[in-house]
Amino acid sequence: MIAFIQRIALPTRLLALGSILFFILLNFQVGFFTNLYEPVRANHIAVHGMLEMCSIFVAFSIALHGWISFKETMSANWLLFSAMFVAVGLLDLMHTYSFSGMPYFIIDSSSLAAAWFWVAARSTESVIFMIVILLPLKSRVKLSVRKYAYLLALLYALLISFIIFRFYPNLPLLIIGGSPTPLKIGFEFMTILIHASVLYKAIYGGSSMIFKEVSLASFYLILSSWLFISYEEVNEYRNMAGHLFKVLGYYYLLKHMYQAKIEKPYTELYDLSARHELLLNSIADGVYGINDEGKITFINESALRMLGVQQKEIFEYDFHNIIHCTSEGNQFDKEDCLAWQTFLDGKPRSSKNQFFRRKDGTVFPVLMKTEPMLKNGVQAGTVVTFSDLSQELAFGELQQAKKELDLELNLAVKLQESLTSQQNKWKAFENVSIASVPFRILNGDFYSIVRRGDLLMMAIADISGKGIPAAIQKSMMVYALEDFNSRYEEPHDVLTSMNTFVHDYTSDYSFVTLSMVNYNQATRLFSYSTGGHEPILWYQADCNKFIELHTKNPALGILADSTYITQSVVLGDGDLIILYTDGVIECKNEDTPDGTTLLREAVLRTDHSQTGEALAQHVLEEVNQLRPCKVHDDQTIIILKA
């Protein structure tokens, strides 16, 4: 019960509480209210008529709305409720016209006839409540049943009216001396019992048929019937208060009718429309509907956004003429439009070869799909969905470009592989170890080793740029270097010739860093010349320290007349010469120590007795483990063991 009361709005609860207090005072302060009502007694008939007209208006409103809304519900329960209120309204109307003191209407006004009309109306009303609320009909009936139900209710009211008008003098008395007889009290108690059952079911039954307004109507009708038991004169205040409570009860019936049959359906329709609009606007594709005139009936936000228009700009016009066009932007024939064809034959269609025009005149390709829009089984228009294919086509072009680029990369990779097969001749030298790892597919580093008797001529270089241009430039450099090595012995002579070559045959924005060294295995004389490349590390095994060797000459290709020098040192037993590219030591982290520091530590950590490519490979692995940042360039290391 507490939960039921909590569901009732606070103003309604306060009104009900005030009504109970007022009802108690009406029954226990008889003298006070009798004196208070005395000035109004002379207008009792007029006030009675106004209150009854309010009840009659509600009764006919329920009947009228039940007639209108029945085709939506087809409920036998609602049909019975609304149809029988035709009878209740007519019987209340007869009660009003026959009330004592009213003008002649069919018969002279009579309190006995008025009382019987009152009892007939209240009994009919309470029986309707008992059936509809306590014993609801679950079935659904055909629309054609409506007129017969209302006709039967009308005939019922007319029959009761005829019986009362014709035989009221012979009917049992309901009022004697202005007070109700036991028979009338019995009728009122029957009404109270039925409405009390409705109220109980509303509080404890939890039935879906119960609405709080119906239970409040029963509450006020119980108070009304009790006052019609207790009054002592027809024109006293308790009689009038009973009519007032009856009007309150009918007010909640009208409120229930409004909320259940007017407000609720429209609220549900509004909510459903809002959900559909939200769902429609959540779709990434454009969606719109057109009627038989080609005018827009609805359109989602995605379509408006893709077309660059606003709703108010398009609803009054043939949408086909606004947006549908050829790939050149010319007007598209309406007879060939998928939407129009679907409207004519009701068949869905789909095509990728369609073009729409935006508000700014730009044309874009679309995937267009059409479906017939039906209303009551009859085609009323066409629903069109479309998606912008611009990105899809652009992606296809990118894929094609990628395929072409991949083909070029594969050719470049094969070119580098052919160069590598020539470079791998160094594996025949036990005292040389090399590791070269490209950052991506193509390697911008290159190296060369040529043997002339006891003389090893070695070079390591890093070409500016990456990818295919670097691969082409690398191939030029390798063959040029081998040619110059065959003609010159001193490192600076090779660098001078290579500088001229790079300057003359590469772009102005390209350069090469190169270290060229010679090692005489018989005398252990090590000669070197560096052109803008990283310093050469010389590890002296006897004192376990490193010395950086470089001639501080410029990079190749920057100046045509650059000069280069050669310097020499004699290596000791177990010494190492480490040539490397900048990818080995560079790190973009500002907090990283100097790269050669990490390289030196990696050399010290590595077992120098390793042969072949293992030594260089292990040094490179150690460097990468020590570095605090990721590798972001090609890496090449050449280690010469004295």
Least confident of 89-103, 144-158, 393-407, 502-516: 393-407
Q: Is the pLDDT of residue 434 over 80?
A: yes
CATH fold label, 409-641: Phosphatase 2c; domain 1 (3.60.40)
pTM of the model as a whole? 0.50
* Single-letter code of the amino acid located at 90: L
Mean pLDDT over each residue of the chain, to the nearest integer: 84
Handedness of CA 600, 602, 604, 607 (dihedral sign): negative
- pLDDT average, residue stretch 84-106: 90
For the purposes of burial, counting CB atoms within 10 Å of the CB of 71, is it exposed (0-12), middle (13-18) or buried (19 or more)? exposed
- pLDDT average, residue stretch 202-226: 72
Q: Is the pLDDT of residue 427 over 90?
A: no
Over residues 575-606, the pLDDT tens digits come to 999 999 988 888 766 555 556 889 999 999 99
What per-residue confidence (pLDDT) applies to 271? Answer: 75
What distance in Å separates the CA atoms of residue 84 and residue 156, rounded to the nearest whole number?
Answer: 9
What per-residue confidence (pLDDT) applies to 412? Answer: 62
- Asked if 470 and 533 count as a contact pair (C-beta separation under 8 A), the reply is no
- pLDDT average, residue stretch 131-156: 88
What distance in Å separates the CA atoms of residue 534 and residue 104, rounded to the nearest whole number?
Answer: 126
Smallest CA-to-CA distance from 131 within 248, 209, 217 is with 209
Least confident of 22-26, 42-46, 484-488, 612-616: 484-488
Any idea where the domains of the chain sit in the sequence?
Answer: 43-270, 286-393, 409-641
CB under 8 Å, gap of 24 or more: what pairs does 395-400 form?
Answer: none
What distance in Å separates the CA atoms of residue 214 and residue 198, rounded to the nearest whole number?
Answer: 8
What per-residue confidence (pLDDT) applies to 592? Answer: 57
Three-class DSSP category at 446 = strand
What distance in Å separates the CA atoms of residue 420 and residue 225, rounded to the nearest whole number?
Answer: 111
Over residues 461-482, the pLDDT tens digits come to 988 766 556 666 666 677 677 7
Decide which of 95 and 27 is more confident: 95
Smallest CA-to-CA distance from 282 within 298, 299, 302 is with 302
CA distances from 562 to 276, 550, 565 (A): 77, 16, 10
Least confident of 162-176, 199-213, 261-275: 199-213
Half-sphere exposure of 318 (CA within 13 A, CB side): 13
Q: Is the pLDDT of residue 426 over 60?
A: no
Q: At 209, is the pLDDT very low, low, confident or very high (cuts 50, 70, 90)? A: very low
According to DSSP, the residues that pair with 185 across neighbouring strands are none
What per-residue confidence (pLDDT) applies to 350? Answer: 92
Helices (H), 441-540: 467-487, 491-505
Strands 296-299 and 286-291 come out as antiparallel
What distance in Å separates the CA atoms of residue 622 and residue 607, rounded to the nearest whole number?
Answer: 11
According to DSSP, the residues that pair with 291 across neighbouring strands are 381
- Asked if 355 and 364 count as a contact pair (C-beta separation under 8 A), the reply is yes
Domain 43-270 class in CATH = mainly alpha
Q: Is the pLDDT of residue 524 over 90?
A: yes
Question: Which range scores top for mean pLDDT: 103-112, 271-280, 433-442, 511-520?
Answer: 511-520
Least confident of 97-111, 164-178, 391-405: 391-405
Which CATH architecture is the domain 286-393 placed in? 2-Layer Sandwich (3.30)
Least confident of 106-115, 181-190, 416-425, 487-496: 416-425
Secondary structure of 531-551 in the HEC alphabet? ECCCCEEEEECCCCEEEEECC
What per-residue confidence (pLDDT) applies to 208? Answer: 45
81: tokens are 């409720």
CA distances from 321 to 12, 338, 339, 340, 357 (A): 58, 13, 12, 12, 10
Helices (H), 364-457: 390-423
